[in-house]
Amino acid sequence: MRTPLAATLLFALFLPVGTAAAQGTMQLVESVPVETVLDQPDLPEARDVWPEMIASARSTLDIEVFYVSADPARDDALDVVLAAVSAAAARGVRVRLLADLGFHKTYPEWIDAIGGLPGAEVRLLDARRLWGGVQHAKFFVVDDRACFVGSQNWDYRALEHIRELGARFESVVVAEAVGTVFAHDWALAGGGTPPAGTATSSLATTGMETAGPWRLDAGGDAPSTVRFAASPPQALPPGVPHDEPLLVDLIDRAAREVRLHLLSYGVTERDGTYYATLDAALRRAAARGVQVKIILSNWAKRAAALPHIKSLAVLDNVEVRFTNIPPWSGGAIPFARVEHPKYLVKDDDEAWLGTANWGRDYFHESRNLSFFIAGGPVAGDMSRWFDTSWNSPYAEVVDPCADYAPPPRGE
């Protein structure tokens, strides 16, 4: 007797993760600064993955970025990506690019070039007017069946001179969920009203929650359970939760160890607002005996941030390290040679992977995306990626009694 489709899908929702069929695949993807020892040989690099994914597009390519910046002085890895976008448009793929309005004023050239392609359309999102922040997410969706989300900006530096971490998803349900954010923001940027609910076929017909949980094959013996979330809370598509409370919950459930890897760290906003939500969760973890390890880039050596970073480093069960990526042999590169990932690993069994720096404005005023992953190999793989930096010759243990000077950034 044939089982009705609806009943089969409902049954599958309640199967244990290890017994249910995977709904697609997830693969971690890194970026590694050239001339460093930070490469993880078993992980592909974004500079190779992005053109491959874009070349596979047959009908649609939706891109949402902070900005786009290639090197005007030489051919670079982003030029290869942009050539893949141009080729997609030339073969009839509908290309839509959404970028932050404010940063377009700084980097207009390449966004405008994409907008000039036949079959391509560009919109600029005024996130500052809408929410008070920026469009900070970095993702693209291919044919509503695959997507990439990560810390990598569409910048040649993010592909060649900055350490980054993202993920490739070959999954209809994940791509369509991420696509609900694109559809929401695309409508806002066009002066319209965001869709009232998802119009994507797979999510609607399977009854899956817009944000998961989904079972994805990440290369382990059993699938990983993956959930999707986003910021800011006032601009979430129906069914997509705010990521900040889920991140706090993840830290609060840590029993043994937390590994956190960020560009920078601070609890005071530019306007003087005090923001301690995530910081307090780390301190609670340390107070109950959890080992908290934090890697920050040397951009965090700012006078405004150092007192609070040192106040963490002095705590029992907390160790903080800065990383100092050496200059490129080809000369100084502004806003590069730095670590820029955004992720956290709990007890080697669960992880957060996102696009947000840790600040109130990123979680409450800016567009960012997050994934929460449990089971399978992902958390362990991310821990090993963390340890590569932690144990590298570029790592520097934060001394609460030492003086630090920030490195040049824009020179």
- Which pLDDT value is given to residue 355? 99
Give, as one character, the DSSP assignment of residue 226. Answer: E
- Which pLDDT value is given to residue 272? 83
In this predicted model, what pLDDT tens digit does every residue of 270-317 receive, in sequence order? 888 899 999 999 999 999 999 999 999 999 999 999 999 999 999 999
- Which pLDDT value is given to residue 269? 83
Quick check: helix, strand or coil at residue 11? helix
Given pLDDT bands bounded at 50, 70 and 90, which one contains residue 20? low
In the predicted model, what is the mean pLDDT of the chain? 93
d(CA 391, CA 149): 27
254 within a domain of the structure (yes/no): yes
pLDDT at 160 exceeding the cut of 60:
yes
Give, as one character, the DSSP assignment of residue 232. Answer: -
- Which pLDDT value is given to residue 204? 38
Domain hosting residue 194, numbered range? 18-397
293 within a domain of the structure (yes/no): yes
pLDDT at 14 exceeding the cut of 50:
no
The pLDDT of 240-264, averaged and rounded, is 98
Ramachandran sector of residue 341 (left: φ over 0; alpha: ψ -120 to 50; beta: rest): beta
pLDDT over 70 percentage in the chain: 92
- Which pLDDT value is given to residue 400? 97
Domain count, the chain: 1
pLDDT at 185 exceeding the cut of 70:
yes
The pLDDT of 365-382, averaged and rounded, is 98
- Predicted TM-score (pTM) of the model is 0.93
258 within a domain of the structure (yes/no): yes
Given pLDDT bands bounded at 50, 70 and 90, which one contains residue 206? very low
pLDDT at 65 exceeding the cut of 80:
yes
The pLDDT of 255-278, averaged and rounded, is 93
Quick check: helix, strand or coil at residue 18? coil
H helix intervals, 253-317:
277-287, 306-313
Given pLDDT bands bounded at 50, 70 and 90, which one contains residue 203? very low
pLDDT at 261 exceeding the cut of 50:
yes
- Which pLDDT value is given to residue 209? 64
Residues 6+ apart with CB under 8 A from 67: 99, 100, 103, 104, 106, 107, 111, 153, 154, 155
Which residue in 116, 143, 63, 55 sits closest to 91, CA to CA? 55
408 within a domain of the structure (yes/no): no
The pLDDT of 386-401, averaged and rounded, is 99
pLDDT at 200 exceeding the cut of 60:
no
- Which pLDDT value is given to residue 271? 82
- Which pLDDT value is given to residue 197? 57
pLDDT at 12 exceeding the cut of 60:
no
313 within a domain of the structure (yes/no): yes
pLDDT at 141 exceeding the cut of 70:
yes
12 within a domain of the structure (yes/no): no
312 within a domain of the structure (yes/no): yes
pLDDT at 4 exceeding the cut of 90:
no
pLDDT at 17 exceeding the cut of 80:
no
pLDDT at 358 exceeding the cut of 50:
yes
Extract the tokens encoding 208: 């899956």
User: In sequence order, what are the beta bridge partners of 68?
Assistant: 154
In this predicted model, what pLDDT tens digit does every residue of 313-333 receive, in sequence order? 999 999 999 999 999 999 999
Lowest mean pLDDT among 121-135, 259-273, 318-332, 378-392: 259-273
The pLDDT of 342-352, averaged and rounded, is 99
- Which pLDDT value is given to residue 343? 99
pLDDT at 198 exceeding the cut of 50:
no
Which runs of E-coded beta strand occur in 71-145? 94-100, 120-125, 139-142
228 within a domain of the structure (yes/no): yes
| CATH code for the domain of 233 | 3.30.870.10
Task: Yes or no: say if 259 and 225 are a contact pair by the CB < 8 Å rule.
Answer: no
